[in-house]
Amino acid sequence: MKNNTLQENKLEANVRCKDVSKIYRQGDIEVHALRRISIEIQDGSFVSLSGPSGSGKTTLLNLIGGLDRPTSGEIYLSNLRIDTLSSSELAQVRLDNIGFIFQAYNLIPVLSARENVEFVMQLQGVNAAERKERAYEILNAVGLNGLENRRPGELSGGQQQRVAVARAIVSNPEIVLADEPTANLDSKTAKNLLEIMLSMCKERKVTFIFSTHDKLVMEYAERLIKLHDGEIVSDE
Amino acid sequence: MLKLAWRNIWRNSRRTILTVLAIAFATSILQFFVSIQLKSYDAATKSAIALTLGQLQVQKKGYLEKPQIRATIEDPLSLESKIKSLDRVEHTSIRSIGFALISSEKRSYGLQVIGIMPEKEKLVSSVSGLIKKGEYLDSTSTNDCVIGEILAKNLKVDIGDEVTILGQGKDGSLAASVATIRGIFDSGTKDFDRVTMFIPYKTFQDVFSMQNSAHSIVVMGMRLKDLEQIQSKIEELLKNETNLVSLRWDQLMPGLKQSIELDMSAGWIFYLTLVLIVTFSIVNTFLMSVLERSREFGIMLAIGARTPRIMGMVVIESILLTLVGIFLGVLIGSGVITYFSIHGFTVPGAEEIAKLWNLPIRIYPELTIRVILTAPLMILTTTFIGVMYPVLKILWLKPLEAMRAT
Amino acid sequence: MLKNLSIIFILSSRNVLRNPRRSILTLLAISFGLAGTIVVSSLARGLSYNLAKDTIDHLTGHIQIHAENYLEDPDVSNSISEIPPKLEKVMKSPQILKKAERVRVPGIVMSERESYGVMIVGINPKEELGLSFIAESVNEGKFFDHDSDDGIIIGRKLLELLQTDIGKRVVVMSQDVKNEISDKGVRIIGVFDSQFESTEKSFVFLSIKKAQGLLGLDAKISEISLVTKDYENLEPTLSNLQSSAPNLDVRGWRDIEKFVSALLDIQGKFLIFWFCIVVIAISFGIVNTLFMAIYERIREFGMLQALGMKPIEIQFQVLIESLLLILIGGFIGNILSVIGIHLLESGIDISAFAEGAKRFGIKNVIYPRFVSHDWITANLLVLFLGSLSSFYPAWRASRFTPANAISRAT
């Protein structure tokens, strides 16, 4: 497999977007989701992308995560250009370097909490004993000990999101991309979740990039990038 | 409501297309099978009627079961002319039939000898057209005969050779004569070609001492459809002749009709299995769609729609979907049948079977109303019955629970 | 990719259980479809098995040996005058279970009132027992005890047609070896019944020695009928016999009873065609179910891709899901078909069509007959066409772009 080279040289988490545009077509109408965005995100940062709906924050997140391809421009993870890779190669990049946390429907419903966490490791080919050990460890770290064998349907929203965080972290990715991770949570649960993510970010030197309009998330963020109509309006 | 149902069908277009295709597939396949089947029966019936059966025969009571030479119709000519004058009767002919030992120089075989009136016989029997060698009998023939190809081979004789006929006359006297082979026919039915010899009626009457009597009056009408009518009129004629009966082709050869029925019922088992499987898959689709939409139905119930209305809508949807599939299937099926009705259709290896039924090896199926309607009606009926299950499911829907369901 | 098969398998199997109602409906469709086909085909095979068996029992046997031209011209002149010693030896091999020598020529039977053309068969009663129907079908009067008994055995229908009775005399007439008509008066000692009316009408039986006497045949015979261990696999025995008797005409029953043989062949072809049609119909159901299953999981497929699952792995997941349904459905279908065949074991009465059935020589009751290669064909077709039809939904599932799939509203 040619992806082996990627696996061997883990990337420096240095996200770089260069003149990235994304245009969706809806019938005859062109929607400019992103207009020539250039941005760099350093290793180990806790970044929030915010802006009103339709501002392009989710699109940008998807592009960085290789879930979608830009209409024009270049995207680099460290020094690897990802916008030109095949979908299979992208899958490998995501598997090795990126963790995802979504707003909802985050977990595989037919797998238990532990199996969800083990899932990515399984795809990576980690052996069973190590998988199990790491899964227990990380679930313990996010405060879910005792609930390892429950299915997502048997967990509360906050617990589900913690499983998602655990799963995103467990494979030691360079970047975790989180799309509105707190949207369905009450503020106390959300705060708890953010604490966990921040500590993971610092302990493990993982870059967290959020797309959010939750004030709470922005409070926690070290860097606030605001988007409007597909353009960056502020970066602080 | 129809419009709403139509839109609902196309809400999940892929599923609808797949279901429609399944129905269309089953419809067209069934149609094709039915067309081949009906055409084969038709051909078998027609060829049996044409060969010697005729549409109807008048015989002495009991002759069919025991064809004895003494079981005769007296004064057949006058009865024949009376039948001939009946409405819708097209052609008639008189036959005398006896059993004899036929010997050539080298071989002897026992077989049935049929005395025919050549000019009349031509109009009721296809044998005159099946002559392979030599000629058919004509009104001038006296000591000539026509025999089947297999018989000719068995007797080791050819056109112009003489054979002796040795049998028993009506009065028990010795019936002996010599006949010259004038024609050899090949009917395609082996059993017939092995045991049949035609000689002129007059000669037969002399040789077998028949006097003014014969065994059968063969009747051909215009159309097979009129047969019952013709039969009842002939029955009327026979009112005073209580020892005579009129028998339709299916009464003359009950085995043929019943073997058609047997074959048909075997066919139905196969068709029904296919229809049931397709219906199952259609009902499955509908059941899933009803379950999927229970939330929607819950909302409809909540805003005041009544259950029968929702049930009605689902029924209309299912019928619409089935009709679309059937329509497509009929189009495809009719197209295929039309193609084969021009180019013909053969089943490799079926020659032996075709021979038994005296069928042409190449079948040209026909697109008739019956062919078009059978399959659609079957599928429509089973679907309608099957779809009742998902429809009844709606009865048990409770608005609140349904709305909560995902 | 292969290393991930175990997790893919877990996902697939749990997804099958996820919507039990839908899975059960699909399993029902597959299993009933398969069971229906197998049961119906077993009935069809039962029908033709009876036909083949009856044909063989009739007088044919598995293999027949005649003089070179006898089958075209069944005349006394085409008789076997001497059985080659080599053939004699082969016929004693363990492959051959039974042997009957016969005289068989066309002739005429006359009563005082009527005469009919028949096939005169001279038999050795001991040899026919267990080989042909005749030994067990004499229901009135008696069967021959020895190969030189006097008397004639005729069919019930012929008895009726000749208007004669048991104990009365009839005249048997045929052409003898000198090409002259030879006749003989014989007493009717037995009446046989047959399921074929034509048999009752057109076969009469003499003892072989008396038949040879009538025809001036001395010890010559017309045919040898053989029964082997396996009527379906005659080839080795047949070629063995043929090479040991190069001057005789050795044929298998399929070669003699061409009509029955053709009927069986056509039926085989039809059944395979039929299997294909039914399985295609089942496949439509499978595809529909799979589509429903994947369309309600679009988000999940997006998420799986986001987590690093490759498109081909997604395809595998869907394929395994359908394969599981097919395998379980197939398994249940096979159990159902065994039950179905078992339930029908006492036979289906078709006497309503008795006359039509008689024309084909079919009995009034049909018994199902399990034919292993039909069973294998039906199963393989379900497996093969079912899986093949799953490729489309599987491919579709892998084609949802992750970004769209995730952001899609539910």
Q: Are B92 and B218 in contact (CB under 8 A)?
A: yes
pLDDT category at C362 given cuts 50, 70, 90 is: low
Q: Are B281 and B22 in contact (CB under 8 A)?
A: yes
pLDDT category at B355 given cuts 50, 70, 90 is: low
pLDDT category at C3 given cuts 50, 70, 90 is: low
Q: How far apart are CA B352 and CA C197, in angstroms?
A: 21
pLDDT category at B261 given cuts 50, 70, 90 is: confident
Q: Are A57 and A211 in contact (CB under 8 A)?
A: yes
pLDDT tens digits, C30-67 = 898 899 889 888 988 888 888 888 888 888 889 999 99
B110 touches chain C (CB under 8 A): yes
Structure tokens at B380: 């429509």
User: Among partner residues C11, C15, C403, which is closest to A67 by beta-carbon distance?
Assistant: C403
B395 touches chain C (CB under 8 A): no
pLDDT category at C345 given cuts 50, 70, 90 is: confident
For strand A207-212 and strand A46-50, is the pairing parallel, antiparallel, or unpaired? parallel
Structure tokens at B230: 């013709």
Q: Are C249 and C63 in contact (CB under 8 A)?
A: no
CB proximity list for C167: less than 8 A, separation 6 or greater: C141, C187, C188, C189
pLDDT, averaged across chain B: 85
The per-residue pLDDT for A9 is 45
Which residue of A68, A77, A108 is the best one to mutate when testing the C interface, meaning the one whose CB has the most C CBs within 10 A? A108
The per-residue pLDDT for B221 is 81
Question: Considering only A220-224, A230-234, B180-184, C400-404, which range has the smallest mean pLDDT?
Answer: C400-404
Q: What are phi and psi of B70, to 5 degrees?
A: -85, -10
The per-residue pLDDT for C246 is 87
B195 touches chain C (CB under 8 A): yes
The backbone region for B93, taken as left when phi is positive above 0, alpha when psi lies in -120 to 50, beta otherwise, is beta
Closest-approach residue (CA) in chain A for C19:
A110
Q: Pseudo-torsion of CA C331, C335, C338, C343, nearest 10°?
A: -150
B64: exposed, middle or buried (C-beta count within 10 Å: 0-12, 13-18, 19+)? middle
Cβ count near C94 (within 10 Å): 7
- pLDDT value at C99 more than 80: yes
Q: Where are the domains of chain B?
A: 2-48+256-404, 62-242
Cβ contact, residue pair A68, C403, below 8 Å: yes
The per-residue pLDDT for B134 is 92
Secondary structure string (H, E, C) spanning chain B: CHHHHHHHHHHHHHHHHHHHHHHHHHHHHHHHHHHHHHHHHHHHHHHHHHHHHCCEEEEECCCCCCCCCCCCEECHHHHHHHHHCCCCEEEEEEEEEEEEEEECCCCEEEEEEEEECHHHHHHHCCHHHHEEEECCCCCCCCCEEEEEHHHHHHHCCCCCCEEEEEEECCCCCEEEEEEEEEEEECCCCHHHHHHEEEEEHHHHHHHCCCCCEECEEEEEECCHHHHHHHHHHHHHHHHHCCCEEEEEHHHHCHHHHHHHHHHHHHHHHHHHHHHHHHHHHHHHHHHHHHHHCHHHHHHHHHCCCCHHHHHHHHHHHHHHHHHHHHHHHHHHHHHHHHHHHHHCECCCCCHHHHHHCCCCCCECCCCCHHHHHHHHHHHHHHHHHHHHHHHHHHHCCCHHHHHHCC
Question: Considering only A42-56, B387-401, C225-239, which range has the smallest mean pLDDT?
Answer: B387-401
- pLDDT value at C317 more than 60: yes
Q: Which DSSP state fits C272?
A: H
Q: How far apart are CA B382 and CA B64, in angstroms?
A: 44
Q: Are B32 and B365 in contact (CB under 8 A)?
A: yes
Distance from chain centroid for Cα B354:
13
The per-residue pLDDT for B94 is 94
The per-residue pLDDT for A3 is 42
C298 touches chain A (CB under 8 A): no
How far, in Å, are B279, B312, C333 from residue C381 at the CA level? Answer: 20, 39, 13
The per-residue pLDDT for C352 is 63
The per-residue pLDDT for A105 is 62
Mean pLDDT confidence for C182-195: 91
The per-residue pLDDT for C120 is 94
Cβ contact, residue pair A122, C7, below 8 Å: yes
CA distance A82 to chain C (A): 14
Which residue of A83, A94, A174 is the best one to mutate when testing the C interface, meaning the one whose CB has the most C CBs within 10 A? A94
Closest by CA position to C249, among listed C63, C28, C98: C63
Give Dmax over CA atoms of chain C in angstroms. 101
The per-residue pLDDT for B327 is 94
pLDDT category at C207 given cuts 50, 70, 90 is: very high
Closest-approach residue (CA) in chain A for C17:
A110
Q: Greater confidence, B280 or C242?
A: C242
Question: Considering only A200-204, B84-88, C166-170, which range has the smallest mean pLDDT?
Answer: A200-204
Residue type, B307: T
C7 touches chain A (CB under 8 A): yes
Residue type, B338: T
The per-residue pLDDT for C191 is 95
A149 touches chain C (CB under 8 A): no
Do A and B share at least 3 CB pairs under 8 Å? Answer: no
Mean pLDDT confidence for C112-121: 87
The per-residue pLDDT for A4 is 41
Mean pLDDT confidence for B225-234: 87
Q: How far apart are CA C178 and CA A21, in angstroms?
A: 109
Which residue of C21, C172, C277 is the best one to mutate when testing the B interface, meaning the one whose CB has the most B CBs within 10 A? C277
pLDDT, block means (10 residues), chain A with 236 residues = 42 75 81 86 86 83 86 86 85 86 78 88 86 88 85 86 87 86 81 85 85 84 86 81
The per-residue pLDDT for C172 is 93
| CA dihedral (C171, C198, B201, B108) positive or negative | negative
Q: Where are the domains of chain C?
A: 2-55+261-406, 63-230
The pTM of the whole model exceeds 0.95:
no
- pLDDT value at B46 more than 50: yes
pLDDT, averaged across chain C: 86
C307 touches chain A (CB under 8 A): yes
Q: Greater confidence, A30 or B204?
A: B204
Cβ contact, residue pair A105, C300, below 8 Å: yes
Q: Which DSSP state fits C309?
A: -
Which residue of C108, C111, C299, C385 is the best one to mutate when testing the B interface, meaning the one whose CB has the most B CBs within 10 A? C108
A180 touches chain C (CB under 8 A): no
User: Among partner residues B274, B349, B356, which is closest to C278 by beta-carbon distance?
Assistant: B274
pLDDT category at C186 given cuts 50, 70, 90 is: very high
Mean pLDDT confidence for B135-160: 91
Q: Is A75 helix (H, G, I), strand (E, B) or coil?
A: strand
CA distance A103 to chain C (A): 10
Q: Are C360 and C60 in contact (CB under 8 A)?
A: no
Cβ count near C217 (within 10 Å): 21
- pLDDT value at C284 more than 70: yes
pLDDT tens digits, B288-307 = 778 777 778 877 777 777 88
The per-residue pLDDT for B163 is 94
- pLDDT value at C360 more than 80: no
pLDDT category at B405 given cuts 50, 70, 90 is: low
Cβ contact, residue pair C281, B288, below 8 Å: no
pLDDT category at B16 given cuts 50, 70, 90 is: confident
Q: Which DSSP state fits C60?
A: I
Cβ contact, residue pair C262, B153, below 8 Å: no
Residue type, A181: P
Q: Which DSSP state fits C80?
A: B
The per-residue pLDDT for C410 is 37
Mean pLDDT confidence for B361-384: 85
Give percent of chain B with pLDDT exceeding 70.
Answer: 95
List strands edge to edge, sheet with A29-41: A29-41, A15-26, A72-77, A80-81
CA distance A34 to chain C (A): 15
